[in-house]
Amino acid sequence: MSDTASPPIVTTIEDGVGKITLAAPDKGNPLSIELANGLLHAVQSFAEDASVRCVLLTGSGRFFCVGGDISAMLEAAEKVGEVIETLTTSLHAAVQTLLEMEKPLVTAVNGPVAGGGLGLALCGDIVLCGPKAHFSMAYTGIGFSPDGGSTWLLPRLVGLRLAQEMALTNRRLSSEEAVALGLVTRVVDGEDLDLQAEAVKVAAALARGPVSANAATRRLLLDSYRADPVSQMKREAASVKAQATGPEGREGLAAFVEKRPADFSLRQGA
């Protein structure tokens, strides 16, 4: 196990799971430049680290992320545009890496999330939340427009009409509504410790899975939004052929025939 801390981001690696924790709980884990830069560094590091087979993203304290650091923006005064540009450059690079990296992403939304934190919460392949979590855009309330990838993610998850309502009226979705509308995967009842334990369990299971197949699946799903059916099926055919003839596919087939669990950890790169 490795453990490094660089507030307001804390990272750990254990059993193939790279965990990133937003760690400024006294302020609600706001998206400051320091946090965004730390997040980008952590995400890029895990994306390139072969020992990390799944990434888990969560927050600390009562909130997952309250959005942008309003205090820092007010202090910036006339230079607020420069602050926003610096912040979104790092935040968007981090979101892009989380979406495109060749490892599955689990997000554990431990509490309320708003603004730029929404994109971070929703870009997971598996999104778990606690019963006290709620979700809102909250941008137009301060005269801002959305960022953090939320205008790309929301319409695809809940449909354009609800995304418009959330973005323009700042409608807040409870955890139960978020599940019913497809915003998150499921609610984990209990305290934050129960959510974190379940998130680690899910991430560990994914980490034991086929890394190459998971990466190919993520690419196909992401590319499907900009592809027509015929071109998408061509990508699927090429991808499944590559997987079937690769080490993970060979191990999966052998394990099926031999009626045993597949051990993908021994086949990576074989």
> Would you state the pLDDT for residue 5?
41
> Would you state the pLDDT for residue 136?
95
Q: What is the mean pLDDT of residues 24-42?
A: 95
- Are 112 and 21 members of one domain? yes
The enclosing H or E element of 108 equals strand 105-109
The enclosing H or E element of 192 equals helix 192-207
> Would you state the pLDDT for residue 140?
87
**Of the candidates 70, 58, 57, 56, the residue with the CA atom closest to the CA atom of residue 27:** 70
- Asked if pLDDT for residue 160 goes beyond 50, the answer is yes
Among 189, 207, 225, identify where a domain stops.
207
**Confidence label for 39 from pLDDT (cuts 50, 70 and 90):** very high
Q: What is the mean pLDDT of residues 52-64?
A: 97
- Are 224 and 141 members of one domain? no
Q: What is the mean pLDDT of residues 187-202?
A: 95
Encoded tokens for 174? 């409870």
- Are 101 and 184 members of one domain? yes
Three-state secondary structure along 10-56?
EEEEECCEEEEEECCHHHCCCECHHHHHHHHHHHHHHHHCCCCCEEE
* pLDDT 10s digits, 224-251: 888 888 988 898 899 888 888 889 888 8
- Are 252 and 137 members of one domain? no
On average, the pLDDT of the chain sits at: 91
- Asked if pLDDT for residue 268 goes beyond 50, the answer is no
Among 207, 235, 252, identify where a domain stops.
207
Tell me the residue range of the domain where 70 lies: 2-207
Percent of all residues in the chain with a pLDDT value above 90, rounded to a whole number: 72
Q: What is the mean pLDDT of residues 60-72?
A: 92
- Are 96 and 158 members of one domain? yes
- Asked if pLDDT for residue 2 goes beyond 70, the answer is no
> Would you state the pLDDT for residue 269?
42
> Would you state the pLDDT for residue 103?
96
- Asked if pLDDT for residue 18 goes beyond 60, the answer is yes
- Are 91 and 122 members of one domain? yes
- Asked if pLDDT for residue 200 goes beyond 70, the answer is yes
> Would you state the pLDDT for residue 59?
97
- Asked if pLDDT for residue 1 goes beyond 60, the answer is no
- Are 23 and 157 members of one domain? yes
Q: CB–CB of 22/58 below 8 Å? A: yes
Among 184, 207, 230, identify where a domain stops.
207
Please report, for the domain that includes residue 110, its CATH number: 3.90.226.10
Q: What is the mean pLDDT of residues 50-75?
A: 93
Q: What is the spatial distance between Cα 226 and Cα 86, in angstroms, rounded to a whole number?
A: 28
- Are 199 and 230 members of one domain? no
Residue bearing the bigger pLDDT, 35 or 77: 35
**Confidence label for 52 from pLDDT (cuts 50, 70 and 90):** very high
Please report, for the domain that includes residue 254, its CATH number: 1.10.12.10
- Are 119 and 228 members of one domain? no
- Are 48 and 123 members of one domain? yes
Q: What is the mean pLDDT of residues 158-182?
A: 95
**Of the candidates 58, 203, 180, 39, the residue with the CA atom closest to the CA atom of residue 130:** 58
Question: 188: number of CA atoms within 13 Å, CB side?
Answer: 22
> Would you state the pLDDT for residue 266?
60
Give the Cβ contact number of residue 3 at 10 Å. Answer: 10
Partner residues linked to 51 by β-bridges: none
**Confidence label for 3 from pLDDT (cuts 50, 70 and 90):** very low
- Are 250 and 199 members of one domain? no
- Are 260 and 160 members of one domain? no
> Would you state the pLDDT for residue 4?
47
Domain total in the chain: 2
**Confidence label for 33 from pLDDT (cuts 50, 70 and 90):** very high
